[in-house]
Chain A
Amino acid sequence: MITTTGLTKVYRSGDREVTALDGVDLHVREGEVYGVLGQSGAGKSTLIRCLNLLERPTSGTVTVAGQDLTALAGRGQRANAALRAARSHIGMVFQHFNLLSSRTVQDNVELPLEILKVDRRERSRKALELLDLVGLADKAGAYPAQLSGGQKQRVGIARALAGDPKVLLSDEATSALDPETTRSILTLLRDLNRQLGLTIVLITHEMDVVKTICDSAALMKNGRVVEAGTVAELLATPGSELARELFPVGGEPSGEDRTVVDITFHGSAATRPVISELARTYNVDISILGAAMDTVGGKQIGRMRIELPGRFEENVVPIGFLREQGLQVDVAAEAGPTDAAAIPAPAAPLEKEAAK
């Protein structure tokens, strides 16, 4: 649905150059919720603004719904009619809502329709229908200043949907909201994704957002995408930073000559008593350093950090047993230099997977 290739954005101020995006290849499939994670300054805000060309990339291409936006002309800041038409079918919601305080809620939702030159009766009908969809039918006549943050964002979402978009871009849409409101907005986005088949790209610095609604995610650092894939793929990738962040399990080894192993359970494996089987079969003492169960992307996932007595070489057999059970096993890096080689690479390069 959205593909970027070699997207680069360099800002020049005087003789200083700042590279905000450094060759970003993104692939968002139709109908998925795609999260772009990163700390502030990682370039995610620039990335999402390049997707509807609010920022013109220095080089690279952006294709949305089969249309190459970068090919549409528009000098400098100015956008030509073709690009403006394309934009009107890409919805966008903002961290600070960006509602016009001079207009009522209904008039705010009607603004994109005015731009599309929809006649007044149709505008009104559509705006009220959208407000009903986001659960604000009774606030049509109110002004933004009379609404709570969550309500304002609902208006922002209704407004973004006015042009019947296939794609919704969300720029930190929940970052200014409290946890409970964040959840309700995310639920709304999830529902819209399912009901309307809306493809959603959201940028966020909150791991919880990705955990709650994303099908796929990318991690950005210094203008590059360092990891990308579906949430399941990421969790199955050894050493994945996103997986670790999505699902942190803490705990330091209790002493030397110990092997620390991270185990990830997916689906049916999550319910089997593998640890006690391991202890009985090999007669080893296992300490659990940390563990967590959670639902990520709608699937039950468990993660556990355990400690086995002895060095890695002495534990090859029990670790092999765990792998045989269909579990994903990562040996913590500090245990020994040979480990990296010992871990098979299960998921082939994720980019390839994502390109299907």
Chain B
Amino acid sequence: MQPLLYDNTLDTLFMVWWSTFYAVLIGIPVGVLLHLTGRGAMLQNVVVFKALGTLANVGRSFPFLILIVVLIPFTRLVVGVSIGPTGAVVPLTIAAVPFFARLVEAALREVDKGLVEAAQAMGGGTWTIVFKVLLPQALPALVAAVTTTVITLIGYSAIAGAVGGGGLGNLAYTYGYQQYETSLMITTVVELILLVTLVQLLGDLVVRRLASRGTRASSVRVGLRRARSEEPAAVTEAA
């Protein structure tokens, strides 16, 4: 039982890690584009905005179980297999991108318009505004969005597991449910609960650290920040 639990935990972490990675990689540009092309925004473009918006809405309204099935040919094309943890990463990513992109869009919307105006008044272009104003200012909200996405993906990965994706979901279903190993099922569920709690706590901690910049920062921390000085690097770290 122990090696089984261990292997499947690794599978779940593998699925969640890679699908989060790709979801963030794709979701940030999509979310930025959604924000910039919206009504009255800097690069207002109805066609792009509507197209991306529709795509995001369609993606988000698909029941995940059906999405996995529909995507089987595509998954096989991309990673060569359609089952196992590797096969599960593709549908998980596809499900998470629209979800995360909308969260990014919402996070950017919360950035004070005055800051964008100030950057424009300094002669900043779109690039400057995205990388020096919008993303750094929205960083706490973006971290919160990643946290929510990771947790959603943990839940989805359990569904993926049940249909051949491996991981804790698979374990709980095949051994716990189908073979009446109630104790294993409960262990798995408890582990999932712990995992989600841990991610949420960690995410909240980072958000609080970022959001309180300056309000509670001791002189020591200010000193550390200054020593690090290359602030834009923080954006890529989060991504």
* Residues of A in contact with B (beta carbons under 8 Å apart): 52, 54, 76-79, 81, 84-90, 92, 94, 96, 98, 100-104, 107, 111-112, 114-116, 141-146, 159, 162-163, 169
Contact = CB atoms under 8 A, between A and B. Distances in A.
Interface in B78-137: 112, 114-115, 117-126, 128, 132-133, 136-137
Interface string B201-239: 000000000100111010000110110000100000000
Contacts of B225: 104, 141
Contact of A100 (B123, B137, B217): B137
B44 interface: yes
Nearest to A90: B121
Contact of B123 (A87, A103, A146): A87
Which of B41, B121, B226: most chain A CB closer than 10 A?
Answer: B121
B122 A141 contact: no
Contact of A107 (B42, B119, B223, B231): B231
Interface of B: 41-44, 112, 114-115, 117-126, 128, 132-133, 136-137, 139, 210, 213-215, 217, 222-223, 225-226, 231
Given A77-B42, A100-B136, A141-B226, A88 B214 contact: no
Contacts, number: 99
A163 B43 contact: no
Contacts of B114: 94, 96, 98
A94 B214 CA distance: 21
Nearest to B217: A143
A112 B124 CA distance: 8
Given A84-B125, A107-B231, A142 B214 contact: yes
A146 B44 contact: no
Contacts of A102: 136-137, 139, 210, 213, 231
B123 A78 contact: no
Given A103-B136, A146-B215, A87 B120 contact: yes
Which 4 A/B pairs are nearest by Cβ-Cβ distance?
A143-B214, A88-B123, A145-B214, A98-B118
B214 A144 contact: yes
Contact of B112 (A79, A86, A92, A98): A98
Contacts of A79: 120, 125
